[in-house]
C-alpha cells in the first residue's frame, strides 16, 4: 500500500534496534530529534520507541485508537527471542534469468533440466521433492546481517554505489585464503582496498565495505568447489567432470537446503550438478516417534545415541541394525529393535563359526569337488546360495540395505541353520575324513563362508574380516580388498522339482516325528526308524532317494512302501533290534559286526579304519 501511494521504503531502525535517521528521506522529513536512539526492543512488555510514536500521534491528534492485543509473532528458532522485520538492502542471485549469454534457458529451467536428466534420486520421490523446491524458490537472497560468517566481498563508493568487479573479488578471495575471513572485518576499508585494488583500476574508489555475511547455504553448497575440485585424491585423472561426487547423502530436509544450494552453485559455476546420485534418508526417532536431533538438547542425554549403543552392543551390531532399517522412512531407535538385530547377529556369527570349524582339514586346492560331482544336497544349497549372492549384490547396488539384511538373515536362519547345517553334521562328523561325500559338503561350506564374508563385509566390517582370516588358505589379505564374485551355478529344472517333492515329504516326516517325541515314543529323531507309504511321484522320488531322505529326516532308518496314504509311521529303532552306534549315534543292525570295534556300526568301522584317529567326529555330537 505504501508503494502504491508513492511512499519511500523507509527504514529508520539501525543495526542496534534504535531509531536513526534514514537515508531514504530528505532532511525536512526526518523523525523528531528526541526520537533518535530510542530502542524499539521491548522491555517488560513495552518499548521506548512505541511509547514515543504513540505520544507523537496523540500530539498531532492522529491517534484513532490504542489497545493491547495478543497475536502470534515470529521468534528466532535457535535463541527463542522475538524477531523484528526491517527493510534492508540485500544481495540476490537471480533464478529466473538466463544464466549464460550463449544459453537460451533461464537458470531455473537449467536447474530443473539437471534434476530431471542428469541426477539419479534415491528414493525416486526425491526428484519431485527437489523439483518442487526449485520451482517454488524465489530469487536467492544471499546476504545476511549476522555478526559472524563469511563476509560478502562488496565495496561502496562515496555515493553508496556498489563496486562489483570480478578481478577485485578474486583478489579478496586470495587475501582471505591467505589470512582467513576475519581480515575483512579487522582491516579498515582503506587497508583492504589497498590490498585488492588492481593497478590499472579506473573505476570509482572504495569509501565503504559491506558488513553483510553470506547465506550459510553458500558455504556448504560450495563444498563441491572447495573439496571435490581441490583435493587430488578425489579426482579420477583428466576425465571431464571427474570432480563430481558419486553420491550426496543427507536427510529429507536437505532438498530445500544443501542439495539445492549445491546444485545451483555448481550449475552456475561449472554448468553441471556436483553429484551423480543423491540419496535421502529419514530421521532417527525415539519410540514415541519424536525426532532425535542436535537442536533438541535432550537428544544428547538420551541413551539411544550411536555412541551409547556402540558401547553396549559393539560397532558391528549397530551397523547391522542401521542396515536392517528401511532408511527411506524415519528410523525408530529402541532397545527392543536393536536387541532383535543382535540375535540375528549371533545367528550369523554362529553360522560363520560352524562353517569355518568344519573346514579345519580342508584345503580347497587339494580337496575341492568340481560342481558337476557335488552331492545332490550340496548342489541344492550351492544353488540357493548363488541366488542369494546375486540378490544381495543387486540390493547393495540399489542401496537397499534392509533387503541385504533380510535376505542374508533369512538364508542363515532357514536354509543353513534349520536345514543344511543340521543335516550335514552326520557327514562331516562321521564319514571318513577324505570321503567324497564329506569333501563335497566341505567344498560348498568353503564357497559359502567365503561368499558370506564378502557379502557381509560392508556391514559387519570387523566380524567379516575376522572370519576371513580363518579361511583355509588365508593369504594375509583383507576381505575389504575382495571383489564381488557372482556365480552362475543353478539347478536343472528337474532337480528343482525333485527338491520340492523331497522337502514336502520331509515336512510331513518332521511333523510325525515331532508327534512321536511329544508322546515320548522316541527321544531324538535319530532314535527312530520310519516307514513311508506313498504312490505316484512321491513313491518314485522316495524310492530313488531313500538315502537322501534318511539324511533329510535325520532318522536311523527309512523303509518305503507302496500305499495310498502318503504318510509316515514312526517307531523306536530299538524295536527293530537295532543297537545305537557309539560313534555316529545312529541305530544300526550291524553294530558290533567287527570284533575289534564291538560298539560301533559297520559304516563307522570303515571310517575309523581309514582315519585311525577316529575322524573329526567324536567330540562333535
Ligand atoms: Zn556308526
DSSP states along 314-337: -HHHHHHHHHHS-TTS-EE--HHH
> Residue 553 C-alpha to ligand 1 middle, in angstroms?
17
Residue 426 has pLDDT above 80, yes or no: yes
> Residue 59 C-alpha to ligand 1 middle, in angstroms?
114
pLDDT of amino acid 588:
94
> Residue 430 C-alpha to ligand 1 middle, in angstroms?
7
> Residue 373 C-alpha to ligand 1 middle, in angstroms?
25
> Residue 470 C-alpha to ligand 1 middle, in angstroms?
30
> What ranges in 96-136 are assigned the alpha helix state H?
107-117, 125-136
pLDDT of amino acid 614:
47
What is the band of 373 on the pLDDT scale with cuts at 50, 70, 90?
very high
pLDDT of amino acid 618:
45
> Residue 600 C-alpha to ligand 1 middle, in angstroms?
5
> Residue 588 C-alpha to ligand 1 middle, in angstroms?
8
> Residue 370 C-alpha to ligand 1 middle, in angstroms?
28
| CA 411 to chain CA mean position, Å | 21
Q: Hey, what domains does the chain have and what are their CATH numbers?
A: 1-84 (no CATH), 93-142+219-281 (no CATH), 143-214 (no CATH), 338-481 (1.10.730.20), 493-576 (3.30.2320.20)
Is 447 strand, coil or helix?
helix
Is 194 strand, coil or helix?
helix
Residue 616 has pLDDT above 70, yes or no: no
> Residue 579 C-alpha to ligand 1 middle, in angstroms?
10
The torsion of the CA quartet 199, 204, 207, 211, rounded to 10 degrees, works out to: -90
What mean pLDDT comes out for the span 462-466? 97
Residue 269 has pLDDT above 60, yes or no: yes
- pLDDT tens across 208-245, in order? 999 999 999 999 999 998 888 888 777 666 655 578 89
> Residue 37 C-alpha to ligand 1 middle, in angstroms?
103
- pLDDT tens across 344-366, in order? 999 999 999 999 999 999 999 99
**Cell reading at 10:** 523507509
Of 489, 434, 448, nearest to 351 (Cα)? 448
pLDDT of amino acid 238:
60
Phi, psi (deg, nearest 5) at residue 248: -105, 140
**Cell reading at 86:** 526491517
pLDDT of amino acid 371:
94
Beta strand 92-93 with 140-141: parallel, antiparallel or unpaired? antiparallel
> Residue 581 C-alpha to ligand 1 middle, in angstroms?
5
Phi, psi (deg, nearest 5) at residue 213: -110, 165
> Residue 558 C-alpha to ligand 1 middle, in angstroms?
16
DSSP for residue 29: G
> Residue 232 C-alpha to ligand 1 middle, in angstroms?
66
> Residue 546 C-alpha to ligand 1 middle, in angstroms?
18
Residue 294 has pLDDT above 60, yes or no: no
CA distances from 470 to 35, 194, 332, 352 (A): 83, 68, 36, 10
* Burial (0-12, 13-18, 19+ Cβ within 10 Å), 201: middle
Of 285, 241, 253, nearest to 119 (Cα)? 241
Which carries the bigger pLDDT value, residue 590 or residue 79?
A: 590
- pLDDT tens across 536-581, in order? 999 999 999 999 999 999 999 999 999 877 888 999 988 888 999 9
Beta strand 245-251 with 275-281: parallel, antiparallel or unpaired? parallel
Q: What is the total residue count of the chain? A: 621
Sorted by sequence, the CB contacts under 8 Å of residue 61 that are 6+ apart come out as none
> Residue 361 C-alpha to ligand 1 middle, in angstroms?
21
What is the band of 299 on the pLDDT scale with cuts at 50, 70, 90?
very low
In sequence order, the β-bridge partners of residue 19 are 13
Give the rounded percent of residues in the chain with a pLDDT score beyond 70.
94
C-alpha to C-alpha distance for 570 and 562, rounded to whole angstroms: 17
Amino acid at each position: 500500500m505504501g508503494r502504491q501511494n508513492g511512499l519511500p521504503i523507509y527504514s529508520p531502525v539501525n543495526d542496534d534496534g534504535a531509531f536513526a535517521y534514514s537515508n531514504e528521506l530528505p532532511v525536512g522529513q526526518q523523525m523528531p530529534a528526541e526520537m533518535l536512539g530510542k530502542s524499539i526492543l521491548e522491555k517488560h512488555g513495552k518499548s521506548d520507541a512505541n511509547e514515543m510514536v504513540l505520544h507523537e500521534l496523540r500530539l498531532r491528534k492522529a491517534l484513532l485508537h490504542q489497545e493491547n492485543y495478543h497475536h502470534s509473532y515470529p521468534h528466532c528458532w535457535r535463541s527463542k527471542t522475538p524477531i523484528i522485520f526491517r527493510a534492508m538492502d540485500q544481495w540476490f542471485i537471480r533464478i529466473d534469468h538466463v544464466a549464460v549469454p550463449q544459453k537460451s534457458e533461464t537458470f531455473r529451467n537449467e536447474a530443473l533440466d539437471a534434476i530431471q536428466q542428469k541426477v539419479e534420486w534415491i528414493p525416486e520421490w526425491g526428484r519431485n521433492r527437489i523439483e518442487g523446491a526449485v520451482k517454488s524458490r524465489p530469487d536467492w537472497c544471499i546476504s545476511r546481517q549476522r555478526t559472524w560468517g563469511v563476509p560478502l566481498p562488496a565495496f561502496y563508493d562515496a555515493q553508496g554505489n556498489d563496486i562489483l568487479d570480478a578481478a577485485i573479488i578474486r583478489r579478496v578471495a586470495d587475501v582471505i585464503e591467505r589470512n582467513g575471513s576475519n581480515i575483512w572485518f579487522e582491516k579498515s576499508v582503506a587497508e583492504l582496498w589497498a590490498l585488492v585494488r588492481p593497478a590499472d583500476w579506473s573505476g570509482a574508489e572504495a569509501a565503504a565495505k559491506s558488513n553483510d555475511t553470506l547465506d550459510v547455504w553458500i558455504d556448504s553448497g560450495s563444498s563441491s568447489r572447495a573439496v571435490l575440485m581441490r583435493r587430488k585424491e578425489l579426482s579420477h585423472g583428466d576425465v571431464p567432470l571427474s570432480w563430481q561426487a558419486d553420491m550426496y547423502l543427507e536427510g529429507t530436509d536437505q532438498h530445500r537446503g544443501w542439495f539445492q544450494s549445491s546444485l545451483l552453485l555448481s550449475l552456475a559455476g561449472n554448468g553441471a550438478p556436483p553429484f551423480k546420485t543423491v540419496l535421502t534418508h529419514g530421521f532417527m526417532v525415539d519410540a514415541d516417534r519424536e525426532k532425535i536431533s542436535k537442536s533438541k538438547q535432550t537428544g544428547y542425554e538420551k541413551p539411544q545415541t550411536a555412541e551409547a549403543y556402540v558401547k553396549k552392543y559393539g560397532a558391528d551390531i549397530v551397523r547391522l541394525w542401521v542396515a536392517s532399517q528401511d532408511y527411506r522412512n524415519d528410523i525408530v531407535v529402541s532397545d527392543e529393535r536393536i536387541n532383535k538385530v543382535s540375535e540375528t547377529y549371533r545367528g550369523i556369527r554362529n553360522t560363520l563359526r560352524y562353517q569355518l570349524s568344519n573346514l579345519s582339514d580342508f584345503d580347497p586346492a587339494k580337496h575341492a569337488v568340481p560342481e558337476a560331482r557335488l552331492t545332490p544336497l550340496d548342489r541344492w544349497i550351492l544353488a540357493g546360495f548363488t541366488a542369494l549372492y546375486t540378490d544381495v549384490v543387486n540390493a547393495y547396488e540399489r542401496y537397499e540395505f534392509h533387503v541385504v539384511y533380510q535376505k542374508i538373515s533369512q538364508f542363515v536362519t532357514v536354509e543353513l541353520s534349520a536345514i543344511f547345517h543340521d543335516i550335514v553334521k552326520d557327514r562331516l562328523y562321521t564319514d571318513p575324513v577324505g570321503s567324497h561325500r564329506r569333501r563335497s559338503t566341505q567344498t560348498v561350506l568353503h564357497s559359502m563362508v567365503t561368499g558370506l564374508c564378502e557379502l557381509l563385509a560392508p556391514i559387519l566390517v570387523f566380524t567379516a574380516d575376522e572370519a576371513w582370516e580363518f579361511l583355509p588358505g588365508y593369504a594375509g589379505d583383507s576381505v575389504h580388498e575382495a571383489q564381488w564374485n557372482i556365480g552362475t551355478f543353478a539347478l536343472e529344472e528337474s532337480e528343482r522339482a525333485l527338491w520340492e517333492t523331497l522337502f514336502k515329504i520331509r515336512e510331513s516326516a518332521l511333523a510325525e516325528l515331532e508327534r512321536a517325541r511329544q508322546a515320548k515314543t522316541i527321544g531324538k529323531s535319530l532314535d527312530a526308524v520310519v516307514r513311508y507309504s506313498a504312490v505316484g511321484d512321491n513313491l518314485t522320488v522316495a524310492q530313488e532317494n531313500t538315502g537322501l531322505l534318511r539324511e533329510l529326516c535325520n532318522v536311523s532308518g527309512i523303509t518305503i512302501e507302496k500305499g495310498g496314504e502318503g504318510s509316515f509311521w514312526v517307531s523306536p529303532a530299538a524295536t527293530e533290534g537295532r543297537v545305537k552306534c557309539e560313534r555316529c549315534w545312529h541305530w544300526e543292525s550291524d553294530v558290533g559286526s567287527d570284533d575289534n570295534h564291538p560298539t560301533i556300526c559297520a559304516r563307522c568301522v570303515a571310517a575309523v579304519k581309514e582315519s585311525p584317529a577316529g575322524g573329526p567326529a567324536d567330540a562333535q555330537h
